[in-house]
Amino acid sequence: MTQQAECEDCARALAGLWLGYRAGCTSCAARAIARSPTMFDAAASRAPAAITALREACTRALPTLPLEQARAEVMRWWRHDKGAPATALKRDTGTP
Ligand SMILES: [Zn+2]
């Protein structure tokens, strides 16, 4: 399934590593959550408190979407970023 970009920043993020966000774009808000420490904690620990914090972040940042739709959009970006090349982030660190 091909993802549709909701704005220019989302289009660039779909095409490669892009860190721009646009106010008022639901997909940008979901992408911000997907890249947040809250998401990292929930994915890494799967602890109930971390999952609850992620749900609360979805509710706050994506108030116009039902929770399950908001979570699905966040997970869409999470999966997208995990498959994206991260060489730009790893460059010049001196570690593998
Ligand atoms: Zn966007």
Q: List pLDDT tens digits, range 20-75.
A: 999 999 999 999 999 999 999 999 999 999 999 999 999 999 999 999 999 999 99
d(CA 48, CA 30): 21
The pTM of this model reads 0.81
The pLDDT-based confidence of 3 (bands split at 50, 70, 90) is low
Phi-psi region of 20 (alpha: psi -120 to 50; beta: other; left: phi over 0): beta
Residue 20 CA to ligand 1 center (angstroms) comes to 8
Residue 17 CA to ligand 1 center (angstroms) comes to 14
Token digits of residue 83: 């498959």
Exposure b/e, 62-87, CB count within 10 A at least 16 = b? beebeeeebbebbebbbeeeeebeee
Within 10 A of 4 (CB to CB), how many other CB atoms are there?
9
Residue 24 CA to ligand 1 center (angstroms) comes to 8
Residue 96 CA to ligand 1 center (angstroms) comes to 32
The pLDDT-based confidence of 16 (bands split at 50, 70, 90) is confident
Residue 53 CA to ligand 1 center (angstroms) comes to 23
pLDDT by residue (tens digit) across 79-88? 999 885 544 4
Residue 12 CA to ligand 1 center (angstroms) comes to 9
Residue 33 CA to ligand 1 center (angstroms) comes to 13
The pLDDT-based confidence of 2 (bands split at 50, 70, 90) is low
